[in-house]
Each structure stands twice: as structure tokens, then as C-alpha cells.
Amino acid sequence: MQSQEHWRTVFESWPESIPRKGIVVTTQGESIPFIGYLLSEGILLLDRESPDSLGARKVLLAYGSISALKITTPLELARFQVMGFQAPL
């Protein structure tokens, strides 16, 4: 599975128990804070709480352009097991 498919799976299967907000880091190094999102087959639509320096509140981003996802809500690691993460053996 390619990286873009992994990112799409993360956003598609985001559990209700984890707030849908955080920061997406792009492959170009840009950090995009978001408070919600919508999905399409190849593009993620991010909703920003406040506009960026150009006044944009919505960002359309290809899954292949995502480098990292930062979760801004303090949560215990065990809460992420529902997303497929496991503790080391």
C-alpha cells in the first residue's frame, strides 16, 4: 500500500472518540491546522478555524502530499488502538 492510501485510511476510519482536529504537515513542510475535514477519493478538504496569511479557511490537499499528522488534543496512547495502533510486544 502506498503512503497516500495509508493517509486516506487514517482519515476515513478516524474514530468518533478522538476529536477531528490537529495539524497536517505537507511534504513541502507546510503545517496546516484543522478543526474538521471532508473526504473524497483523492483529495482531503481541511477546515481551518482561522484563515491563513492569504485569508484561506479551506484547504484541498492530495493524500500524497501529506507527510505527517499532529494530534493537538492530549490523549492517552491507548485511545489510538482503535485506529490500528498496537503496543510493542
pLDDT along the chain (89 residues), means of 10: 86 92 96 97 96 95 96 91 85
Exposed/middle/buried for residue 50 (C-beta within 10 Å: 0-12, 13-18, 19+): exposed
- Looking at residue 1, its pLDDT comes to 54
- Looking at residue 59, its pLDDT comes to 97
Q: What is the pTM of this model?
A: 0.89
- Looking at residue 71, its pLDDT comes to 94
Instruction: Say if 80 falls within a structural domain.
Output: no
Residue with cell 513542510: 29
* Total domain count, the chain: 1
Instruction: Say if 18 falls within a structural domain.
Output: yes
Instruction: Say if 44 falls within a structural domain.
Output: yes
